[in-house]
Chains A and B, each alone.
Chain A
Amino acid sequence: MLSSSPTVPAAAVLEPIEKGNSLWHDAWLRLRKNRLAVFGMWALAIITVACLFGPLVMHYGYEDQNLDLGASPPSAAHWLGTDTLGRDLLVRLFYGGRVSLAVGLSATLVALSIGVVYGAIAGFFGGKLDAVMMRTVDIMYSLPFPIFVILLMVFFGRNIILLFVAIGAVEWLTMARIVRGQVQSIKKMEFIEAARSLGLGRRRIIFRHILPNVLGPIIVYTTLTIPGVMLLEAFLSFLGLGVQPPMSSWGVLIKDGAEKMEEFPWLLIFPGTIFSLTLFSLNFLGDGLRDALDVRSSKD
């Protein structure tokens, strides 16, 4: 691009710039060809919209009990049946989904912010600082973190904000490694040299020039972190340590369902299916994005 000869008409040089975003456009085209990823996108969109707006159109409230009815299998009035207190399972799935998705997104955001900043600093400055920071990450990788999250949740009350932070604080390590590797290779490129010679500050170079070029891997691993986070939340809820009643999440519903599955199997089957379907979709989408954005493992 830089070596294009001056005889080329200005319009021809400008054309690719006008199209802009061609990298992202190409990636989008590739993604759309991946059937599983498209399936994942649609499934996620439908599940999210249903959880957000479903409760508004339902006839039953979240805590409306019908003790005469008790636990009833799926019927015309209650499409997915009711639980032992006669509460509509579909409505409870919507509300539980709101919490599960919210935990997934916010804890991922925590992990994303810590991981990106940490990795960018280690990668950009290199040398001793990098060595110390990455050894720390290595050591933290070998710590039994879910155990600490369990202790935190038991000792400091089962508070949902703490849950976000605790999960986010566990899941940032991989992101930090990936960002650091990418930053390391990008900072040696000429346009960074150019930015430096223009006298830009370090912070501006990192955030305005390097990180935008690491966006592909960041997007891919963010997508793949969300299912991990949701799994950890459900794991904690299953042990009775996550989201607490009267709030609910898919993990809580699965736990309740597993306790009563002998008599009322639908209480386990529906929450389990919707939760697994969501994780499926996120994993498919993440895999598809990785292929579309051509993110290879950082080693080769």
Chain B
Amino acid sequence: MFRFITSRFLQSLLALYVVITATFFMVRFVPGGPFTAEKAVTPEILRNLEAHYGLNKPLYRQYLDYLGSLAHGDLGPSFKYPNRTVNEIIGDKVPVSAELGLLSLAIALVLGIGLGTLAAIRRNTWIDYVASSFGMTGISIPTFVVGPLLVLAFAIHLGWFNASGWYLPSDRVLPCLVLGIAYAAPISRLTRGGLLEVLHQDFIRTARAKGASEFRVITRHALRGGLLPVVSYLGPAIAGILTGSFVIETIFQIPGIGREFVNSAFNRDYTLVLGTVILYAALIMALNLLVDIAQAWMNPKVRLE
């Protein structure tokens, strides 16, 4: 188990390094710089700006400098927000996105596993059909359709919520529901499939024969094996919730890091782009690592490979 974790960890580090390097050079090689859009910058000012941000040094030097400060956790100054560092901007915006992401993930897990379990236990009844249609609907209707439609219905027509913003607790309801439901749908399908495969196996019959209550059979015995497909889906789901927040934050005008990332790419704010990409990559890899470990812990077959 220790070897398994170490090797996965080293792999993630390598992948993270590749991401950092690839993004660094991609950002530098693109046509147009952060200061080209600014109207009528005289050559002297441009030179001063470039000297200020170290852009006049040779590229390999810039790269090494960047890696050096990154090792100290310093992501450098922002090009577009004068006097602000990338660390500050990220520190400002991340808590908002983290709240959105975690609440959505919680909704996705509770709703998805709950519905999937119900559908599997009551297979081929109306409960199953309702849950399965929910699964298909959630997969097929994208967040950027559901989101505006819910705003139209519940915010504009019924007036229950604000159409946008992130101030009141009730402002959390619509965005988190939209993002959560999108991932509850595949999770409910995976739970149903996983449980159905487990439910007719011998150890379930043994548990029933011993007189365990149906509730105990499901929660203690069946779900542990039946949730394996859900656990392996968690990696992609978390990545999806992170990138999905770009759209959600745009629709609901939430001041999170997702909207900031898209803006920074438009603005060619190199350091901010790099900083957010590194943040996302590190986050996704760390969470994937956790998922791998959880999977190995739940399923000895994976561990031995």
A interface with B by C-beta (< 8 Å)? 135, 138-139, 141-144, 146-148, 150-151, 154-156, 227, 231, 234-235, 238-239, 241, 251, 254-255, 257-258, 261-262, 265, 268-269, 272, 275-276, 279-280, 283-284
Contact = CB atoms under 8 A, between A and B. Distances in A.
Nearest to B288: A142
A284 B19 CA distance: 36
A284 B136 CA distance: 8
Given A151-B23, A154-B266, A239-B247, A144 B144 contact: no
Interface residues of B, number: 45
A272 B153 CA distance: 15
Nearest to A154: B265
22 contacts: A142-B15, A142-B284, A143-B281, A143-B284, A147-B277, A150-B246, A150-B261, A150-B262, A150-B265, A151-B27, A155-B26, A239-B247, A239-B262, A258-B148, A261-B151, A265-B152, A268-B152, A269-B149, A275-B142, A276-B140, A280-B137, A284-B136
Contacts of A139: 11, 14-15
Contacts of A155: 26-27, 30-31, 265, 268
Contacts, number: 111
A258 B265 contact: no
Contacts of A283: 136, 139-140
B251 interface: yes
Which 5 residue pairs are nearest across A and B when measured between Cβ atoms?
A155-B30, A272-B145, A258-B148, A279-B140, A280-B140
A272 B144 CA distance: 9
A254 B281 contact: no
Given A155-B265, A261-B151, 19 more contacts: A141-B235, A142-B15, A142-B235, A143-B15, A143-B281, A144-B19, A144-B239, A147-B261, A147-B280, A147-B281, A150-B246, A151-B26, A235-B142, A238-B250, A254-B145, A268-B148, A272-B141, A279-B139, A280-B136
B247 A238 contact: yes
B30 A156 contact: yes
Nearest to B147: A258
A268 B250 CA distance: 16
Contacts of A234: 142, 144
Contact of A258 (B141, B144, B280): B144
A275 B27 CA distance: 34
Nearest to B289: A142
B191 to A, nearest CB: 15
Contact of B149 (A146, A272, A279, A280): A272
Nearest to A277: B140
B148 A144 contact: no
A276 B141 contact: yes
Contacts of A147: 243, 261, 277, 280-281
B152 A261 contact: yes
A170 B30 CA distance: 21
A279 B141 contact: yes
A239 B284 contact: no
B242 A254 contact: no
Nearest to A150: B265
Interface string B78-117: 0000000000000000000000000000000000000000
B247 A235 contact: yes
B247 A231 contact: no
A255 B247 CA distance: 11
A142 B282 CA distance: 10
B273 interface: yes
Nearest to B143: A235
Given A265-B152, A280-B136, A239 B250 contact: yes
Contacts of B268: 154-155
Contacts of B148: 254, 257-258, 261, 268, 272
A43 B194 CA distance: 30
Contacts of B14: 139
A253 B247 CA distance: 15
